[in-house]
Every structure is written in structure tokens, then in C-alpha cells.
Amino acid sequence: MRTQVAIIGGGPSALLLSQLLRLRGIDNVVLERKTRDYVLSRIRAGVLERGLLDLMREAGIAGRMEREGFAHDGTLIAHEGGMFHVDFRKLTGHSVMVYGQTEVTRDLYDALEKAGGKIEFEVEGVEIHDADTDAPHVTFHRGGTEHRIDCDYVAGCDGFHGVSRQTIPLSVRREYEKTYPFGWLGILSETPPVDDELIYANSARGFALCSMRNANLSRYYIQCALSDSPSDWTDAAFWQELKRRLPGEVAGRLVTGPSIEKSIAPLRSFVTEPMRWGRLFLCGDAAHIVPPTGAKGLNTAASDVHYLYNGLRQVYEEGDPEGIDRYSERALARVWKAERFSWWFSSLLHRYPDQSAFDLRMQAAEIDFLRTNEAAQKAMAENYVGLPY
């Protein structure tokens, strides 16, 4: 098989890149280890930055999102002294959209399949060959048979555990990592959201987040120990603990119900450099991971797609390699800013086991500064709605 761009991975960043390239007549093939149903079963965050919204419109898949998504003009920050609102629209002129990552992925699959996009599911043993030459190729197995794809470029969108990052020699890549001493216990419930806006809560008992998927589907999180298991928490225990971490007026109107999904996610910050080796380009979780505070994971992957798509378009349409030559530089400049925001927001809202009395006072002062200072709120809002590409 021959194509122009081989895309490893079948998640939203891979599919978005595939769709954008296809619309410009750039041939590509997507390789996914699992089935479509498996990919769509993954539960992920659903706060979409303005840049991702624009990419979805350019890709022609924004219709359902604009009909069913929830535009959010701000967010609420709860703390020991009360709660305050950060008005994104007023401070930046932009909003975010609450629309599940699963739905973004579904819309992309539907668009690609309708247009005859090339997606190979249930592939095994993917290997990237000769990425540091002008003639890379990819091999994989399916049904006991080896297949080969010759291509011009390889886009590694296969996540932290995928083959793409590991293909870059250790002598070339450098990795930066921070692990956090807690996790997030999250549940999904068929209940109305407790508020029209997301609520981020800092409490003496730990962090909490009130989010939503739609008018009758809510997503809630509480900070928990890394040693906890979802089975350690009954629904009743979760709801009780969540209420303890929210202001009284919010807890009083919280509608509870059975969980339909329950999981614990560890928190980690991770970046690998560079994001390009020869004709292999890393994209999304293959190159970087952020803690979920601030919902930057999918959005940062989307910014990678923006830089890579435009670099490839520039090569094929104009014969100019400037965009791909500077891909790693441009993508990483924005990645590190997203990492900074996610680290800062996590530090603002969580309780750390080694925090001293001084540290807690500093955290409280930082929250009060954010509450009372418009410039601080504007800086937060600019980062939350998404820095420009």
C-alpha cells in the first residue's frame, strides 16, 4: 500500500488530522489497534478550546457540536471563603464548549467513513521503519498477515504507550515528567448538572470538580489517594464526600443518583522533546500529557494537529518545508505554556500531603488574589479558553 501520510492511532487527534488532510486532497491512512466501538467506549473530558472549535469547523464536523454542545462563558471557583465567577467572555471575548471527547471522536469517524477515509482497525505489531530517511514505511500485522505502507511522512498519534515515541532513539529524545501524589475519582451519573457553569473547588478535604455532558448527564470528580480503587467507594460515599467539599448552597441543590461509570485517574505532567525525528512527527499524548485540571489534554493535541496539518499542507500545496521544519519548535512552545497552566491550576486547587501551614496560607492568598484581581482573572481566562495558535 502507498499513501502520503501514515497516521498511527485512531483517537480524536489522529482522526482530526486525517479529515483535515483528506479535505485538502492529501492521501492518508489511519492505523488503530482496537475496534471503533472500543475507541468510542473511552470516557474523556469534554471542554473544547476556541482553537479546537475552529479546527472542527474547518474539518466540517462541527454541526452536531454546535447544536448539542454547551457554550460556557466562564467558570466558578469555590474555596473555604465562598465562591466567585471568572467571566471568560467578558475578559477575553471567547468561550469554551462542553461537548464530550467521545462525541468529537464519533463525529470524526462518521465523517471519514462517509467520505471513504482509510481506517485500518485491529492492527497489531505496528513498526515504523526508516523514519530518518526520505523513504519511511510502516508495517503491521492483521489476521496473521504482515502488511506494509510506504509513505512520505508518519504522524504518531498513538498515545503515551504507543510505538511512535519509542521509535525516536534515546540518544535523540529527552523526557520531562512530574507525577502528582493523588488521583481523581470520577463518576458519570444520569442527573442534571448542579450548575450551568463548571465548579472547581478547593477545600480542606481536597479538590472537587462539578462538570457535565448534557442537561441530564453529569460528571463529578474528587481528589483521592493513589492507593484507592473505584470499588473502595460506594456511590453514597462519593456523594457524601463531594458535598463536604462544595459550598453549602451548591451541596444543597446537588441531585444524586446511581453512577453509570466510575474510575480513578492518576495525574501526571509529561513532555518529550523533540516532537519530530526525520519524517516522524509526534502528536498529542505520544509527546505530552497534562493533569486534567483545566482540560488541556485533547486541546493541546488539537494544537499539534493545527501545526502539523498546516505544515504538511504547505509542503504539498506550495513545496515549502518551513512548516514541518519548525513543527516541533512551534508545537512545543505552546505545549509548555499549556503544561504551565495545568500545573499552576492543579497547584491552586489541590491539597498536597507535604503542604506546610505556610504553603496553605500561600495557596489561600493565591486564590484570594485571583478572586480580587481582574488582571489575574484575565490571565487565567486567556489560558482556559486557549492561547492562540
CA distance 220 to 238: 9
**Per annotation, catalytic residue among 94, 288, 296, 306:** 296
263 alpha-carbon distance from chain centroid: 17
Told to judge if 200 belongs to the known catalytic residues of this protein, a careful annotator would answer yes
**Per annotation, catalytic residue among 180, 307, 316, 384:** 384
147 alpha-carbon distance from chain centroid: 31
CB 185 within 8 A of CB 228: yes
**Per annotation, catalytic residue among 153, 180, 200, 221:** 200
CB 261 within 8 A of CB 43: yes
- Measured over the CA atoms of residue 75, residue 266, residue 100 and residue 222, the dihedral's sign is negative
Of the candidates 34, 35, 47, the one whose C-alpha atom is nearest the C-alpha of residue 104 is: 47
CA distance 210 to 47: 13
CA distance 74 to 103: 22
For residue 29, CA distances in Å to 85, 149, 307, 386 come to 45, 9, 19, 29
Told to judge if 384 belongs to the known catalytic residues of this protein, a careful annotator would answer yes
CA distance 104 to 11: 10
Told to judge if 72 belongs to the known catalytic residues of this protein, a careful annotator would answer yes
78 alpha-carbon distance from chain centroid: 24
CA distance 304 to 301: 5
**Per annotation, catalytic residue among 12, 72, 79, 99:** 72
**Per annotation, catalytic residue among 12, 136, 193, 292:** 292
H or E stretch at 307:
helix 297-318
The torsion defined by the Cα of 227, 229, 230 and 231, in degrees rounded to 10, comes to -140
Q: What angle do CA 306, 214, 61 make, to 5 degrees?
A: 30
Q: Which residues are catalytic?
A: 72, 200, 292, 296, 384
